[in-house]
Amino acid sequence: MSHYVSAAAFAASRTLTAQGLKVKRSHLSEIIAALLGYHTYAALAVEEADSSLDYHLEDAEILVLNVPMGTMRAEDLGFSDGQASAPIVTQACVDALKAEANSTNVYVSIEEFYDEYARQALAEAIYTDDDVASAMAECNAYFPDEPDMPIACPPVEDLWSAVKEWSIQADGVMTGEYDPDGDRLFNGDQLQCWGRLVYDKAGRAGLVFVDSEAAGGLDDSWRDEDGEDELEYLQSVDRA
């Protein structure tokens, strides 16, 4: 990964030079290390040399960058206002990391990771889970589509401080199609479901997929609503 960081620093340096900005490559390496969740490049180098760890940054399947931390590091290094402002220099480093990532997927925040990847991955994990399939079988509705998942990213543990493992989970709702002409009585057409993606950490910003978990159960709230409607009807008959 040290080579990867060096390559990204070189690429960022070329981009900034083309804009007429001269920035020390050592400073760019510090900002890139911060984007990867480290307070200093030295801290990154120490962790990368730790052979007791199962994974390192180069093993990551996914990288989730800490852009605020990278921007703060740029400010600490003296990049403030002007052409070489902290956001401009940091963005050059982000673009360089993406360009040098090869097959690793890079996201600029946990929110982007959820929006562009994890939401769909959670929906698929739920839809293909055996326990959820059993819950579907108990319902006489047909579920052609994956569950609806929250638009907003759910609360999660701080990714960059997690040491060994990190996960993201969310609740969803599956709405089925019911055939009123079928030979089975209506017993519900919604499932409340839950999914979780579990990852091993590869460095501070890196993730390696381990497993998915899911569960689902029939939503019986319609029974209460039907009961209330029936009670209201009976009360209206009595009053008549």
Task: Look at residue 120 in the predicted model and tell me its pLDDT.
Answer: 97
pLDDT, tens only, 206-237: 999 999 999 988 876 655 554 444 334 334 43
Q: How far apart are CA 122 and CA 184, in angstroms?
A: 31
Q: How far apart are CA 47 and CA 41, in angstroms?
A: 10
Q: Which helix (H) or strand (E) holds 194?
A: strand 190-202
Instruction: Report the side by side order of strands in the sheet with 206-218.
Output: 105-107, 62-64, 206-218, 190-202, 165-175
Judged against a pLDDT cut of 80, whether residue 145 lies above it is answered with yes
Nearest Cα neighbor of 70 from 97, 103, 99 is 97
Residue 85 pLDDT grade (very low, low, confident, very high; cuts 50, 70, 90): very high
Beta bridge partners of 218: 191
Q: Which of 40-44, 177-181, 190-194 has the lowest mean pLDDT?
A: 177-181
Ramachandran region, residue 203 (left: φ > 0; alpha: ψ -120 to 50; beta: rest): left
Q: Residue range 80-88: average pLDDT?
A: 82
Which residue ranges make up each domain of the chain?
A: 2-107, 113-239
- pTM, rounded to two decimals: 0.86
Judged against a pLDDT cut of 70, whether residue 111 lies above it is answered with yes
More confident: 239 or 204: 204
Nearest Cα neighbor of 206 from 165, 154, 170, 157 is 165
More confident: 187 or 2: 2
Judged against a pLDDT cut of 90, whether residue 140 lies above it is answered with no
Structure tokens given for 193:
């479901």
